[in-house]
Amino acid sequence: MKYDLTARVLHWASALVILWATISGFYTLLPNIETQVKQLIAGFNVSLTALFIPFFCYRVFHRIKSRSPASSDQISTFEKKISGVMHLMLYVVVGVVLVTGVLMMDKPISIFNVVTFDQVFNNQTVITVFKTIHKYATELLALCVFIHIAALVKHELMGKKILSCMI
């Protein structure tokens, strides 16, 4: 009842990137954070998440082509359906965050000062729309991640050892 090694590596690497980008991104919104720190985190996050885009695409491809392990009888049909919907939602919201993150850029996109891409749009109105969508999508992603972790903790505390599938 384990996911294959590729799925597990993709899951945990994705979790690290998503948690880092989410937590550090919200951190920069706190008052009294120095502008230099905000810029450093923003630059790092742009580079990291830009590199994450093809990784995430491969993760989606792998998920589509691979079968999930057989579900435990400890999990009800309703819980399995909710889990499926939640996982689909996570994939969709991560995709929206990544796409809007690129589309909202108002300057060239630098990946660790090694490779630079021009921003997609030069129209500030369009950029503002994508920044707004990105803002709400990141908030929704944070909520989805919280629910995902809370569900895991709930099941583990109830003796339904679902974490072992991803370790």
Q: Give residue limits of the domains in the chain.
A: 5-166
Of 69 and 50, the structure prediction assigns the larger pLDDT to 50
Give φ, ψ of 109 to 5 degrees. -95, 115
- Give me the mean pLDDT over the 53-64 stretch: 97
Is the whole-model pTM more than 0.85?
yes
Going by C-alpha positions, the residue among 8, 13, 129 that lies closest to residue 66 is: 8
pLDDT band at 45 (very low <50, low <70, confident <90, very high): very high
Phi and psi torsions of 117, nearest 5°: -120, 145
Q: Which of 46, 49, 50, 81 is nearest to 151 (CA)?
A: 81
Q: How far is CA 76 from CA 81, 110, 136, 156, in A?
A: 9, 47, 32, 15
pLDDT for the residue numbered 75: 81
Measured distance CA(119)–CA(127) in Å, rounded: 10
Give the residue-averaged pLDDT of 11-20.
98
Q: In this predicted structure, what is the pLDDT of residue 142?
A: 98
| pLDDT beyond 70 at 72 | no
Tell me what the pLDDT averaged over the chain comes to. Answer: 95
Decide if 56 contacts 95 (C-beta within 8 A): yes
Q: What confidence category does residue 116 fall into, taking pLDDT thresholds of 50, 70 and 90?
A: very high
CA distance 46 to 98: 10
pLDDT for the residue 74: 73
Kindly give the residue spans of alpha helices, DSSP state H, lying in 28-109: 35-65, 77-103
Query: Which tokens sit at 162?
Result: 């679902």
For 124-161, how does the pLDDT look when each residue is reduced to its tens digit (9 = 90+)?
999 999 999 999 999 999 999 999 999 999 999 998 88
Q: Do 19 and 139 touch, CB atoms closer than 8 A?
A: no
